Chains A and B, each alone.
Chain A
Amino acid sequence: MSQNDQVFDLTIIGGGPTGLFTAFYGGMRQCTVKIIESLPQLGGQLAALYPEKFIYDIAGYPKIRAKELIHALKEQAFHFSPTVCLEERVRYIKKLDGHFEMITNKGVHFSKAIILTAGVGAFEPTRLDHPKTAIFEGKNLHYFVEDLNQFANQKVAIVGGGDSAVDWGLMLESISQEVHIIHRRDKFRAHEHSVENLRNSTINILTPYEVKDLIGSERIEKLVISTSKTQEEKIIEVDAVIVNFGFKSLLGSIKEWGLEIEKGSIVVNSKMETSIPGIYAAGDITTYPGKVKLIAVGFGEAPTAVNNAKAYIDPEAKLQPGHSTSMNLEKPDFVTTR
């Protein structure tokens, strides 16, 4: 386990739109900020589930694509160089003398106050259902493509039939030696024009096939695929396998931290304070009488949570922040820790 002894002013759990705006706002209030996110990317549902969809109810934007909103939120948040910890899930939180200790799957973090912006909980990719899956995860069985070039000149098999599978296939076509796409139905559920591009590409489309076996000792060397109806088998040689079966969300361990919870959401007061002093929440994860679960609402709750958390950390600090128009924002600088 890695240990970072620095006690941050604010730790934000969940890097979706509300979390990113909370990070910006924390920086604006001169707090040291850390974001902990379960996926290997920021942006929450917008980045993971519907990057191409238009959103029409963000103040100031008549319409904006989800991925563009996330891009803008990241730029805004990174003005203040928050520390970003990806692929970390907070298992439990302990209140120590004057600050909190958070244990994740990777290590320990310390913070004076916590703001939960975890939406519907931690997202995890749906795993390939096979007994050998665990052997190859973290080696050449991937659920995310973080760097296209890691697949340069490789034989890549992509499993899945949605937008992610088709889009990654099309992007890897010119980089990899060969690309196979394996889907258990003939029909893909990606955007029509992406599917048309796929059909016109050099990608080897293997449908209706499912993965039957993974062959290899250290790494997957061959995939055995078969049709569900006729059991006809094929063996393909691979250097890497990318599985895109979508995501599952789980509120998971958050339920066990002793917070007051109502119907799967965290109860907060008008300060966005939870039932544990020093832990605040904002966005879709919160509930109170009249709560509306929209990004626009999360954007309003974020400054309320930060300003009240600031006053909690430093009772001398003003609750009212002053106006951003009088501030001179410096250039962004992005720090990532793993």
Chain B
Amino acid sequence: MAKYTMVDQETCIACGTCGACAPDIYDYDEEGIAFVTLDDNRGMVEIPFDLHEDMQDALESCPSGSIKVAKAQFDSDANKFE
């Protein structure tokens, strides 16, 4: 099943947890705010299946609920499916 992910940068607290869980998906800008490296946080690129477990870890570990995962593209809107 296709999955897409995005970081809600409005609520991200720059704690570094997502990158520790899924370093192949998430990285941080110069302020420590996380983003999805695969598509510059637009939520458009399908996440490879072998990274799904890492992504799930990041989703569950994010203390501020800023990691978003969905079955469809986000179109650069982290709250599209809220």
List residues of chain A with CB under 8 Å of any chain B CB. 45, 49-50, 53, 119-120, 123, 126, 161-162, 185, 187, 189, 245-249, 263-264, 284
Q: A49-B16, A247-B63 are in contact. List 13 more A-B contacts (CB 8 A).
A: A49-B15, A49-B63, A50-B16, A162-B20, A189-B21, A245-B60, A245-B61, A248-B63, A248-B64, A249-B63, A249-B64, A263-B10, A264-B11
Categorize the interface residue count of chain B: 10 to 19
Q: How close is A210's CB to chain B, nearest CB, in angstroms?
A: 12
Q: Complex: how many Å from CA A246 to CA B64?
A: 11
Contact (Cβ within 8 A) A248 B65: yes
Question: Which of B11, B13, B65 is the most central at the interface, judged by chain A CB atoms within 10 Å of its CB?
Answer: B13
Q: A45-B15, A50-B16, A246-B17 are in contact. Are A123 and B63 (CB under 8 A)?
A: yes
Q: Complex: how many Å from CA A284 to CA B31?
A: 14
Q: How close is A225's CB to chain B, nearest CB, in angstroms?
A: 18
Contact (Cβ within 8 A) B64 A120: yes
Q: Complex: how many Å from CA A97 to CA B26?
A: 51
| Binary contact readout B2-42 vs A (1 if CB under 8 angstroms, 0 otherwise) | 00000000110101110011000000000000000000000
Closest 3 CB pairs of A and B: A49-B15, A246-B61, A247-B63
List residues of chain B with CB under 8 Å of any chain A CB. 10-11, 13, 15-17, 20-21, 53, 57, 60-61, 63-65
Q: Complex: how many Å from CA A113 to CA B10?
A: 30
Q: Complex: how many Å from CA A263 to CA B16?
A: 22
Contact (Cβ within 8 A) A189 B65: no
Contacts of A246 in B (CB 8 A): 17, 60-61, 63
Q: How close is A228's CB to chain B, nearest CB, in angstroms?
A: 10
Contact of A249 among B13, B20, B53, B61 (CB under 8 A): B13
Contacts of A120 in B (CB 8 A): 13, 63-64
Q: How close is B59's CB to chain A, nearest CB, in angstroms?
A: 11
Question: Which of B15, B57, B65 is the most central at the interface, judged by chain A CB atoms within 10 Å of its CB?
Answer: B15
Q: Complex: how many Å from CA A149 to CA B17?
A: 29
Q: Which residue of B lies closest to A185 (CB)?
A: B53
The A interface is mostly helix, strand or loop, or mixed, namely loop
Contacts of B16 in A (CB 8 A): 49-50, 53
Q: Complex: how many Å from CA A248 to CA B13?
A: 11
Q: List 30 A-B contacts (CB under 8 A).
A: A45-B13, A45-B15, A49-B15, A49-B16, A49-B17, A50-B15, A50-B16, A53-B16, A120-B13, A120-B63, A120-B64, A123-B63, A126-B60, A161-B57, A162-B20, A185-B57, A187-B53, A189-B20, A189-B57, A189-B61, A245-B61, A246-B17, A247-B63, A248-B63, A249-B13, A249-B63, A263-B10, A264-B10, A264-B11, A284-B13
Q: How close is A63's CB to chain B, nearest CB, in angstroms?
A: 15
Q: Which residue of B lies closest to A191 (CB)?
A: B20
Q: Complex: how many Å from CA A248 to CA B66?
A: 11
Contacts of A45 in B (CB 8 A): 13, 15, 63
Q: Complex: how many Å from CA A263 to CA B12?
A: 12
Contacts of A263 in B (CB 8 A): 10
Q: How close is B18's CB to chain A, nearest CB, in angstroms?
A: 10
Contacts of B60 in A (CB 8 A): 126, 245-246
Q: Complex: how many Å from CA A284 to CA B64?
A: 14
Contacts of A126 in B (CB 8 A): 60
Q: Which residue of A lies closest to B15 (CB)?
A: A49
Contacts of A245 in B (CB 8 A): 60-61
Q: Complex: how many Å from CA A248 to CA B61?
A: 8
Contacts of A264 in B (CB 8 A): 10-11
Q: Complex: how many Å from CA A187 to CA B56?
A: 13
